[in-house]
Structure 1
Amino acid sequence: MSRTSLPDPAATPPPAAGDASRAHARAAAEAPSLRLVRLALHGCFYALLAVALVPALTGPRAAAVAPAALALAAVYGAGAVRQARRPRLWLAAVTALWLALLVLDPGFSYVVFPLFFLWLHALPVRWSLPAVAAGTAAVVAAQAATPGGLTAAKVIGPAAGAAVAVLTAYGYATLYRESRARQRLIDDLVHTRDELAAAQREAGRLAERQRLAREIHDTLAQGLSSIVLLARAAESGTPEAHRERVREIGRTASDNLAEARRFVHALTPPALEDAPLPEALRRVTARTVPGAAFRLDGEPCPLPVETEVALLRLTQEALANVARHARADHAAVTLAFHDGQVTLDVYDDGVGFTPGTGPADGRPRFGLHGMRERIAELGGTLTVESAPGEGTAVAAALPVPAAAHPRDALGEAA
């Protein structure tokens, strides 16, 4: 059966080790007014005990009163400070000592008022209210033994004190329940916030991993693949062609080293550091597929860094596919600037393939998937048109912001 009132540490078992941090957080978040009320209750008990003890020490039973009062003070203090694991046993000892003092001297009647709150807190309803009534009756009986006998004031005073204690305890219990409910709500909000933060961290981790996978595939993997193709080509041919292939391998390896360093420093791609986008695409085209044509349409305008990087990576990926798979006689790259849009087209007349099907070796086409994701993140579209024997056309369209940020801003910041 539930208790009715004062939440006191003396009646609350200590938390398990696994709940220590949560219990500490609740204790820290508990309303200071509740702790102040408990301290005031304990202070009231000792104050009333001292007020009753001073005149009792001058009475005929001082020799018996003093040890009993000291014992009561010690037992009460031990339970309040050490937060007894068995509060009912502690309360029974306090009550027995108080009754002994009440028999010795009726002046200890006033000590019953803080005991009212302890009974209402530590005992179930079916016991606490009878305990308050019994304590009131004991006080009335003790007062009736004083000079003047039993009077209405000696009955009304203790009864009114008991009524006030009961009403106050119930009000305090309501306040405490609201505080606990609010604390549970705070705990839920904190838990939800932690879960949301963890989910955001995980989403960020996955997004970063996906970004790095695209970057590595579009840069280092393509460069290493070019080095492999050049090394195979260098195995045959004239000595002059062999030396040219070796020099090309060195240049490609140097570019890949610069890309690897960029990953560490998060800088602009090396191809865009010393040349505008059209010139960078022209160089990539000539280096990746010798003999491929590059064409520029429209008037170039400053583009955001992420847009230039996306177009550069798309060109590298598409041309790498041409070099590895297309077996094309001709290839062309077209960069066009329109009003509010920039487009990039990569075309070859090679063997083509059926879009939506995997390669013959069974490996997934991560390049196409990565290109679509990269372009889609910038609000653009990517289409791939191909058919067996009819070549392949890769077309990307990206919006150009009205106030595009020049690439130079990142270069100055770096």
Structure 2
Amino acid sequence: MRNPPRPHLTASDDTRGLATVMHAAFFLLLGASVARFLLRHPGEPRTPWVIALSIALALLYVLGPAVGATRTLPATAPPTPLRRRLWLGLVVATWVVLVVLAPSFAWCAVPLFFTALRTLPPRAAVVLVALLTVFVVAAQLRLSTAFDPNLLVAPPAVAALATAVFVHMERQAQEQRALIDDLIRTRRELAATERREGTLAERQRLSMEIHDTLAQHLSSQQMLLQAADRTWESDPGTARAHVRTATDITARGLAEARRLVHDLAPPELENGAGLAEALRALDAGPGIEVRFHLEGAPVPLPDRAESALLRIAQGALANVREHAGARTAALTLSFLGDQVVLDIADDGAGFAETRSASGRGHGLPAMRARVRQLGGTLTIESTPGEGTVLSAVIPLEPTR
């Protein structure tokens, strides 16, 4: 059993995961800053203001996604820029006041960097991150009792890292969205092309089936009924025989029509009858003797190959009956190890090769199409006054 596909993490999934981490970090840092302030500055006049501003900042941060203040990747129907900027301005202003009252709240700036990058356009977000970084450096210097170079280097380094990570992930998400769009468009175009090709192939198959079966049966019926009409008064017995033969052909044509509707195998191949038996039973019409020869040891053939060879034989005999004026036709089915060959020869009038190339009707092109679909070849040799030999060669294993 095939294992189900493993879930694939996209760049937007990574961004959502990073957003969750940043949200959790913001509240942890905010809570730690409040606890640090209460432990070190209990009972001071600014304490109620710090607590109130901390609660206000937490509420603003929570209400941000609810009012559509932040965008997610991939971007879908972004809210109005004014609402986003207003929300971010309130968050930053509240945080700035907190940092002025208690510089230890500057540690909350890192999640705010990410929030700014998710809320504003890239250039505006970079400018805001730079201003927040300057403010963080100033707050850290206020807390320090002595000059520390790390206070000047660490905040800009963290801000640059956060910006680089977000910009990289956003670009990766955009590229992935473009790739997915291209794949979806290509898949739709491929599906449309396959549908068109399938429709054309089915039309060609049906046209060949109708030509090789129903059209040939109708042609035979017409010839027989015309012959019966000419001999009806002078030779009633012969006329009735023609009518009975036409009736039999009509029954076979009806069976062919039903087969086309149900897309079944040719009726001559049903009930376990092999290709050799079906070819042996073919008839070219009144006045034409059909002989069948089998060479080599028969091997099982694919259904498509048997059906194609039978249809080619039927089409070739129809051409013999209608155009060749022949008295005999010979069918030879040869199994030659790696291929099967069907030869149809007649002693009729023949024709020039230029006529064969130009194509008088649908019969020869249909035969070539059938053989080509099975990876085989169809050759025709004919000389005026010396008959025609048609040879269909089909490999027993399909070629690539």
Question: Normalising TM by the smaller chain, what interval?
Answer: 0.7 to 0.9
2:46, 2:101 within 8 Å by CA — same for their partners in 1? Answer: yes
Deviation at 1:396, TM superposition (A): 1.1
Residues 91, 266 of structure 1: CA spacing in aligned structure 2 closer, same or farther, 3 A cutoff?
Answer: same
Deviation at 1:218, TM superposition (A): 0.8
Q: 2: distance between equivalents of 1:396 and 1:248? A: 29
Q: 1: distance between equivalents of 2:100 and 2:395? A: 95
Q: Which residue of 2 aligns with 1:302?
A: 299
Q: Gaps (5+ residues) in structure 2?
A: 1-7, 70-78
Residues 300, 232 of structure 1: CA spacing in aligned structure 2 closer, same or farther, 3 A cutoff?
Answer: farther
1:303, 1:400 within 8 Å by CA — same for their partners in 2? Answer: no
* Paired residue total: 363
Residues 57, 177 of structure 1: CA spacing in aligned structure 2 closer, same or farther, 3 A cutoff?
Answer: farther
**Paired residue type of 1:384:** I
Q: Does 1:366 align with 2:362?
A: yes
Deviation at 1:254, TM superposition (A): 1.5
Residues 71, 301 of structure 1: CA spacing in aligned structure 2 closer, same or farther, 3 A cutoff?
Answer: same
| Equivalent of 2:59 in 74, 77, 102 | 74
Q: Gaps (5+ residues) in structure 1?
A: 1-26, 360-364, 404-414
Q: Which residue of 1 aligns with 2:98?
A: 101
Q: Does 1:46 align with 2:45?
A: no
- Of structures 1 and 2, the one with the larger relative CO (CA 8 A, separation 6+) is 1
Residues 263, 29 of structure 1: CA spacing in aligned structure 2 closer, same or farther, 3 A cutoff?
Answer: farther
Among all aligned residue pairs of Structure 1 and Structure 2, give the percentage whose two residues are the same amino acid: 36
Residues 179, 349 of structure 1: CA spacing in aligned structure 2 closer, same or farther, 3 A cutoff?
Answer: same
| Equivalent of 1:247 in 221, 244, 250 | 244
Moved more, 251-260 or 52-61: 52-61
Q: How big is the alpha-carbon RMSD for the aligned residues of Structure 1 and Structure 2? A: 3.5
Q: Does 1:222 align with 2:216?
A: yes
**Paired residue type of 2:134:** A
Residues 57, 236 of structure 1: CA spacing in aligned structure 2 closer, same or farther, 3 A cutoff?
Answer: farther
Q: Does 1:282 align with 2:280?
A: yes
Q: 1: distance between equivalents of 2:373 and 2:145? A: 90
Q: 2: distance between equivalents of 1:299 and 1:113? A: 85
Q: Does 1:208 align with 2:202?
A: yes
Deviations 1:325-380, CA, capped at 9 Å, x for gaps: 33x15131231426334331231424746323354xxxxx1111011121233343
Q: Does 1:37 align with 2:28?
A: no
Deviation at 1:79, TM superposition (A): 2.4
Q: Which residue of 2 aligns with 1:21?
A: none
| Equivalent of 1:233 in 190, 208, 227 | 227
Q: Does 1:383 align with 2:368?
A: no
Residues 379, 68 of structure 1: CA spacing in aligned structure 2 closer, same or farther, 3 A cutoff?
Answer: closer
Moved more, 96-105 or 251-260: 96-105
TM score, norm. by length of structure 1: 0.74
1:294, 1:333 within 8 Å by CA — same for their partners in 2? Answer: yes
Q: Which residue of 2 aligns with 1:152?
A: 147
Residues 233, 57 of structure 1: CA spacing in aligned structure 2 closer, same or farther, 3 A cutoff?
Answer: farther
Deviation at 1:252, TM superposition (A): 1.2
